């Protein structure tokens, strides 16, 4: 694999890898995970910080109310989609100080998350109440009622660490528990 220095190169590699290795329509197949992790590691090690330019394009972020826990517009999560396809979505999230997501699930293939310029706090949960009929066998995303979960673990996601979660591991909530904005790179696999 060549050095992946830009998000564009990372995107091209993911498109080629998913297509060439017959992962089309089955990115939820765990066999694709090492390829994606290796590509993210390569980009993480070699990137020329193009994510900074991408993250601060003046009109490229939109307010993502789906994962948002706040009524306050100043605390809503800003999201910028870099690439969206039927196989995956790559995006940057801009976490304001002390901002956190709702408790939520992920697409069938899971999600990779890399904090690019600071650390984030992740809290994972197990679902203990299925009365709300959560359907984890689809790519449908939904928020989880806090009364339906029990806290499993909490840990810091250090800067540039490559993290992965899928619904078999649990659902989670992510929080910027610092007083500075943090940008994170996400790859959701469908």
pLDDT tens sequence across 110-145: 999 999 999 999 999 999 987 778 888 778 888 899
Highest-pLDDT range among 47-56, 69-78, 95-104, 149-158: 149-158
pTM above 0.85, yes or no: yes
Q: DSSP characters for 24-79?
A: TT-TTSGGGHHHHHHHHHHHHHH--SHHHHHHT-TT--EEE-TTB--S-GGGSEEE
Q: Is the dihedral of CA 38, 187, 117, 179 positive or negative?
A: negative
Q: Quick one: average pLDDT of 9-31? A: 75
Name the average pLDDT for the chain: 86
Domain ranges of the chain: 61-189
* Topology, domain 61-189: Jelly Rolls (2.60.120)
Please tell me the number of Cα atoms within 13 Å of 188 on its side-chain side: 19
DSSP 136: T
Bridge partners of 32? none
Rounded distance, CA 52 to CA 54, Å?
A: 5
pLDDT band at 21 (very low <50, low <70, confident <90, very high): low
On the question of pLDDT at 67 being above 60, the answer is no
CB burial string 33-49: b at 16+ within 10 A, e below: bebbeebbebbbeebee
């Amino acid at each position: 694999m060549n050095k992946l220095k830009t998000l564009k190169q990372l995107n091209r590699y993911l498109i080629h890898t998913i297509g060439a290795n017959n992962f089309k329509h089955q990115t939820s197949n765990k066999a694709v995970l090492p390829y994606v992790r290796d590509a993210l590691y390569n980009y993480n090690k070699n990137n020329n910080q193009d994510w900074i330019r991408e993250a601060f394009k003046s009109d490229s972020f939109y307010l993502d109310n789906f994962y948002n826990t706040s009524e306050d517009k100043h605390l809503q999560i800003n999201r910028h989609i870099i690439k969206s396809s039927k196989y995956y979505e790559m995006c940057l999230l801009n976490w304001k100080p002390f901002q956190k997501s709702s408790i939520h699930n992920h697409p069938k293939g899971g999600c990779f998350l890399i904090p690019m310029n600071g650390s984030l706090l992740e809290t994972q949960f197990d679902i203990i109440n299925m009365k709300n009929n959560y359907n984890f066998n689809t790519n449908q995303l939904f928020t989880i009622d806090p009364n339906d979960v029990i806290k499993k673990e909490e840990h810091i996601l250090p800067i540039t660490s490559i993290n992965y979660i899928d619904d078999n591991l649990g659902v989670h909530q992510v929080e910027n528990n610092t007083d500075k904005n943090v940008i994170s790179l996400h790859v959701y696999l469908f």
